[in-house]
Structure 1
Amino acid sequence: MTDTRPGTRIVDLPVAWLRDHMHEALAIYGLAMGYDPGVVAGRYGYAIQHTDRPGFRAVGAFAATEDGERLVGFGYGYLIAPGQWWHDQVRAALDRRTAKKWLPGAFEVCELHVHPDHQSQGLGRRLLHALVAGTTAPVALLSTPDADTKAFRLYHADGFVDLARGYHFPGDPRPFAILGVELPMHPREPRPANT
């Protein structure tokens, strides 16, 4: 998949390329999430392990520069399964009926980040759509800080629904929301402004 709109292009990222450029991608993650460099460094080993998971796929956004182009956003995910840390955390956060409906065969949007200098230009949405378009999973799940952020509004606008709110993952003091969407995605129509 390649999206070559003016200014940036969205492409599928081969696993080998992402492994070779994981530090670059995680620097974007740290800036987008406001994480300390120590937290970002601690994610490297996990991120490399994720590339071996079943159903793994990744996408990147590249912006033109004087010297060629550079990575300004990325996303990746994989099929979740019992025994994986995120799956088991989410399973604990959901009631039995919700877990039974949403977890089997789900694709986790594990990371989806755009460099702050390139946010609010539609790149997050383009990355999200490219990422989930390439999976045959019945649903996609993700977790995001439980706050009124651009990312949270993007996910809801694109049809994600709340599965759990105010959940605290170990090691992060912020509350998170766990969201899900049936695939293929059908973004919601914008609501008309009140007149």
Structure 2
Amino acid sequence: MTVEIRRLTAGEYSLLVPTLVDIYIAAMEYNPAIRDQRIRVWRGEVAWPGFTAIAAVDGDDVVGVAYGFLGSRDRWWDRQLVRSMEESGGITHERQQILDSYFEVAEIHVAPGQQGRGIGAAMLAELLRQAPAAWALLSTPEVKDEANHAFSLYRRFGFVDVARRFLYPGDQRPFAILGRPLPLEL
């Protein structure tokens, strides 16, 4: 069966959040104990300006999720983004332009058994197709030599380094923060 990539309404997304969080936990290999907390957070995301959610559906099964929204100084992630820039060379003119207009790719995950089939690329293309900002930004865990599906996908989409080896509070893994100008033209 062919995987369908579709935009979700806020209501559809909210109803699917438990399934979507399960995909996230499996894909990121997180402890399932975070499930209830993540469900609460994810349901609250629909309130942010520019919220857009995409699902990958294979028959009756949801096998992927991607969502994002406009960056905002009110968000924890924006404060981390500013800190990452300050720690890696400061807020240059280009970095200020990024901060002034970006779409945060908050999450993009494909169920482990479905990875490597182009689902992530299709979801990312649809998520960014009408993103209402000048830049798209995301973060991903660092891996040696960028040797995983995520880095391959982001590089193929033209994402470049904004900050590397950044440590978020409460997570011992270093992350890369990547960005690309919009609109998306593939």
Work out whether 1:105 is the aligned partner of 2:96.
Answer: no
Q: 1: CA distance between counterparts of 2:185 and 2:82?
A: 25
Pick the aligned partner of 2:42 from 23, 30, 47: 47
How many pairs are equivalent? Answer: 178
Pick the aligned partner of 2:15 from 12, 17, 20: 20
Look up the match of 2:150.
151
SS at match of 2:79: helix
RMSD: 1.2
Look up the match of 1:87.
78
SS at match of 2:14: helix
SS at match of 2:47: coil
Q: 1: CA distance between counterparts of 2:179 and 2:34?
A: 26
Q: Counterpart amino acid of 2:63? A: V
Q: 2: CA distance between counterparts of 1:40 and 1:173?
A: 20
In structure 2, the gaps of 5 or more residues are none
Look up the match of 1:142.
138
State the 1:104 CA deviation: 1.1
Work out whether 1:181 is the aligned partner of 2:180.
Answer: yes
Pick the aligned partner of 2:64 from 54, 60, 73: 73
Pick the aligned partner of 2:26 from 16, 23, 31: 31
SS at match of 2:23: helix
Contact conserved, 1:158 with 1:186, CA < 8 A, in 2?
no
Q: Counterpart amino acid of 1:159? A: G
Q: 2: CA distance between counterparts of 1:87 and 1:41?
A: 24
Contact conserved, 1:108 with 1:140, CA < 8 A, in 2?
yes
Q: 2: CA distance between counterparts of 1:186 and 1:177?
A: 23
Pick the aligned partner of 2:117 from 106, 116, 121: 121
Contact conserved, 2:130 with 2:183, CA < 8 A, in 1?
no
Q: TM-score if structure 2 supplies the norm length? A: 0.92
Q: 2: CA distance between counterparts of 1:131 and 1:34?
A: 23
- CA distances 1:11-65 after superposition (whole Å, capped 9, x unpaired): 001110111110100000001111010123321222111110000010100002x
Q: Which structure has greater helix proportion? A: 2
In structure 1, the gaps of 5 or more residues are 1-5, 188-195
Contact conserved, 2:103 with 2:137, CA < 8 A, in 1?
yes
Q: 2: CA distance between counterparts of 1:17 and 1:102?
A: 31
Q: TM-score if structure 1 supplies the norm length? A: 0.87
Q: 2: CA distance between counterparts of 1:41 and 1:174?
A: 23
Q: 2: CA distance between counterparts of 1:32 and 1:60?
A: 15
Q: 1: CA distance between counterparts of 2:18 and 2:37?
A: 11
Look up the match of 1:10.
5
- CA distances 1:58-110 after superposition (whole Å, capped 9, x unpaired): 0100002xxxx110001000001112100111111012115302111210000
Look up the match of 1:168.
167
Contact conserved, 1:29 with 1:40, CA < 8 A, in 2?
no
